[in-house]
Structure 1
Amino acid sequence: ADLEVLGTTPVKFFHWLAHQDRCWTATRLASRGLQHHPRCLLCDQDPETIQHLLLTCPFAKQIWHRTLDWTHIPAQTPANDTTLMDWWLRAKAQTPPMLHKALQSITLLVPWMI
């Protein structure tokens, strides 16, 4: 993967799970026949998938927007990106090279905190 891993071991492991779509979201719990809430607990609008939770949930979008704005990174917030990696590659292309390390850190830490 092009995304250089900068975080601690739990952050790295979380991103590996998210990339493999193996986080215990409501959709994954449902596929295993386990009890789950029918919609995202953050927005109560859509089913909780890893894509929704990290990229398309209104709560997540607000966090992305505020973080990118606070750090003055000119990348657009996640929109219709299929995966976090898809968004990161698009965001990296929109970001000056001198801000790439900051973008990498944000790409690791924002999903971890969500």
Structure 2
Amino acid sequence: MYKTPRHPIWITLVNGLYGLLFSVNQHLVSDWRVEHKFDLYYYTGQATQTRPTRLSVETRLGRSSHARTALQKSEEEKKIPPLERCIMTKWFGAHIDWNGTMPYVT
């Protein structure tokens, strides 16, 4: 993922599926204070997707982890959907809410 574009739009390749990840907030890539809580939209162009999926991203809280051992942590990380892992290359440890949509990029 290209981490700092001029406009908040990224082309993704997750599990062989191209997608478009974008924000309607132009300041997302120019003002770090906007990066605390914001929405991203994801669109794949698949026939089954009629509108972009809205993902709410919270960077201040971070991901909660209940793992006590390295093995548990590894197993917990495997459960993170690939699109979320892609988003976390830019916003490490972000909590991502799919707003009722099932994480369909698995």
Same-fold call, TM > 0.5?
no
TM-score where L is the length of structure 2: 0.26
Q: TM-score, normalised by structure 1?
A: 0.25
Structure with more strand by fraction: 2
Structure with more contact order per residue of length (Cα contacts < 8 Å, sep ≥ 6) = 1
